[in-house]
């Protein structure tokens, strides 16, 4: 680059001062352009840059107008820096993973039990178990079916859950959870408070609910809990930290079915029960028939379960009644479609104009379908734009459980890959879900009628609107009558 700059300055000759170095940025063409007539007359006009007067610059000098204020570093940095930052972040994440792996291995060696331990005799008396699930909202929703299965298998066991402040509300009203211990990642001292409470409770067992990889936080909590039994899935990298290892479930793909491996520690054989109970579900009318064009992911055995108070359900119903009353063309609507336009990451955001096109088409073809738009409070402006463009109405839900009530009182759900997918499964709602890349088999709707739309592109921006419309139309056509029955949800 320096050699090229020297050659440019030589070519400029007496105008070499026009190429000015901008410290830390690059180089800029600047000049005081004067006409020949002005020079002979001895009058000079005010200095100007070639960026301000490009055409005049060409007339008065032999220099072409610059295409960019910075001829090298600006263009170079705009291309190189983002890639450099991504590589740097990836390197930091890789270092963090290696460090955590080594710390977990060290803790595992420290926690390694001395000698073999007999498994607990759950039927001998009451036992208290702490279930660790302190991460995302959707993960907590998925865990509710496994928690119910533990309590149902061993009536002498009471289950407490370690949750985060973000996902604890999911468990409100759940009869299978005795108590909720919360931590807040933004307030580190909450870990100490939770740890003191855990030690005072003296749990008989702690369950590490991670399926794919161990967590340093979970390992530390198990160690600090002083529980006699530490339960987790084998071959994840922290076997030495556990006292009761359970094997993975053969053939399991969905996250819930993989988590069912933990039930083996409580006397349930998930492998055998999966075959028996799945056969019973397939023979009933509560599971999609074999060969159906509508897909159902997972075995549908340990379905998530959420509990809403009657007042919460009445509020959800009121939102739908308002939608019918405020939109004359929707009066007498038989089916309710809830549309979630938010997501947890940018690549899962479907463009606003595609939502608008889809909702207009659905309204034209199915005027008896009432639509409500939901989303994160942070996406209020996005929701308003989509609603205004599509002629739809919005259900603003500042609290998470308000959104759950809207889904519970709906008939059909349309969403990207978010926790709304799992909430729909908990309430048996047929769903159209958009996925980026793979993951639908693991994180898709569990045992419910669903259409899954996946793209190999890096973002949902590339998901075809006609594909989505066809999936929604097929789901609406399959639901010939409304399926909402709030009385059964109370």
Same fold, 122-283 and 310-489: yes
The H or E element spanning position 360 is helix 352-365
Q: Are 260 and 270 in contact (CB under 8 A)?
A: yes
Euclidean distance between CA atoms 48 and 54, whole angstroms: 10
The pTM of the full predicted model, rounded to 2 decimals, is: 0.77
3-state secondary structure of 180: strand
DSSP codes of every residue in 275-331:
HHHHHHHHHSTTSPPTT-SSB-BS-SSS-------HHHHHHHHHHHHHHHHH-GGGT
> Is a pLDDT exceeding 50 seen at residue 194?
yes
pLDDT at 87: 77
CATH 1.10.150.130 fits 310-489, yes or no: no
Report whether 248 contacts 238 (CB < 8 A). no
CB–CB of 112/240 below 8 Å?
Answer: yes
pLDDT digits (tens, 9 = 90+) for 300-321: 889 999 999 999 999 999 999 8
For the stretch 225-276, pLDDT in tens is 999 999 999 998 888 889 999 999 998 999 999 999 999 999 999 987 666 6
DSSP summary character for residue 466: H
For residue 336, the surrounding DSSP H or E stretch is strand 335-340
Token pair 């459980």 is at which residue? 401
pLDDT value at residue 90: 79
CA dist 376 and 317 (Å) reads 20
Task: Average the pLDDT over 96-123 and give the result.
Answer: 80
Checking if the pLDDT of 139 tops 60, the result is yes
pLDDT above 80: residue 199: yes
The CATH number assigned to the domain with range 122-283 reads 3.40.50.2000
Domain locations in the chain as residue ranges: 2-60, 122-283, 310-489
Write the DSSP assignment of 436-474 as a string of letters.
ESS-HHHHS-BSS-EEEEEESSSSGGGS-HHHHHHHHHH
**How sure is the predictor about 286, in pLDDT bands with cuts at 50, 70 and 90?**
very low
Taking only the tens place, the pLDDT of each residue in 46-88 is: 333 333 444 444 444 444 444 444 444 455 555 555 666 777 7
Q: What pLDDT shows up at residue 176? A: 98
Number of other CB atoms surrounding residue 116 within 10 Å: 7
Tokens encoding 24: 């830390």
What mean pLDDT do residues 381-400 have?
95
Q: How many residues does the chain have?
A: 490
């Amino acid at each position: 680059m320096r050699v090229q700059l020297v050659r440019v300055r030589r070519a400029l000759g007496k105008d070499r001062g026009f190429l000015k170095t901008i410290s830390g940025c690059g180089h800029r063409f600047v000049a005081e352009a004067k006409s020949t007539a002005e020079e002979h007359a001895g009058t000079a006009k005010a200095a100007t840059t070639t960026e301000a007067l490009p055409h005049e610059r060409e007339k008065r000098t032999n220099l072409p107008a610059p295409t960019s204020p910075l001829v090298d570093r600006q263009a170079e940095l705009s291309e190189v820096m983002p890639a450099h930052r991504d590589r740097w972040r990836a390197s930091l994440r890789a270092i963090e993973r290696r460090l955590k792996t080594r710390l977990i291995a060290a803790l595992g060696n420290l926690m390694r039990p001395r000698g073999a331990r007999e498994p607990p005799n759950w039927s001998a008396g009451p036992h208290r178990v702490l279930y660790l699930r302190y991460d995302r909202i959707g993960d907590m929703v998925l865990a509710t079916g496994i928690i119910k299965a533990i309590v149902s298998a061993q009536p002498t066991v009471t289950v407490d859950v370690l949750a985060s402040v973000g996902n604890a509300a999911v468990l409100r009203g759940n009869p299978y959870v005795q108590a909720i211990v919360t931590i807040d990642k933004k307030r580190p001292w909450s870990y100490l408070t939770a740890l003191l409470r855990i030690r005072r409770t003296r749990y008989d067992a702690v369950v590490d609910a991670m399926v794919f990889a161990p967590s340093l936080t979970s390992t530390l909590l198990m160690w600090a809990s002083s529980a006699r039994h530490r339960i987790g899935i084998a071959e994840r990298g922290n076997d030495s930290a556990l006292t009761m290892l359970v094997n993975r479930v053969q053939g399991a793909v969905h996250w819930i079915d993989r988590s069912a491996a933990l039930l083996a520690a409580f006397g349930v054989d998930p492998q055998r029960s999966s075959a028996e109970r799945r056969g019973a579900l397939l023979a009933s009318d509560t599971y999609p028939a074999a060969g159906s064009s509508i897909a159902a992911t997972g075995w549908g055995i340990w379905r998530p379960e959420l509990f809403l108070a009657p007042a919460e359900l009445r509020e959800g119903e009121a939102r739908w009644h308002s939608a019918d009353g405020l939109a004359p063309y929707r009066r007498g609507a038989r089916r309710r479609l809830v549309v979630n336009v938010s997501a947890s990451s940018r690549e899962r955001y479907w463009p606003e104009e595609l939502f608008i096109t889809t909702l207009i088409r659905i309204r034209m073809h199915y005027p008896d379908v009432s639509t409500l738009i939901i989303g994160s409070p942070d996406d209020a402006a996005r929701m308003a734009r989509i609603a205004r463009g599509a002629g739809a109405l919005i259900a603003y839900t500042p609290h998470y459980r308000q959104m759950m009530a809207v889904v519970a009182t709906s008939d059909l759900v349309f969403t990207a890959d978010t926790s709304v997918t799992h909430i729909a499964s908990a309430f048996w709602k047929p769903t159209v879900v958009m996925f980026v890349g793979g993951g639908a088999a693991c994180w898709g709707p569990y045992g419910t009628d669903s259409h899954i739309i996946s793209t190999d592109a890096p973002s949902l921006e590339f998901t075809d609107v006609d594909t989505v419309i066809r999936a929604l139309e097929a789901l609406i056509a399959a639901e010939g009558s409304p399926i909402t029955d709030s009385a059964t949800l109370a």
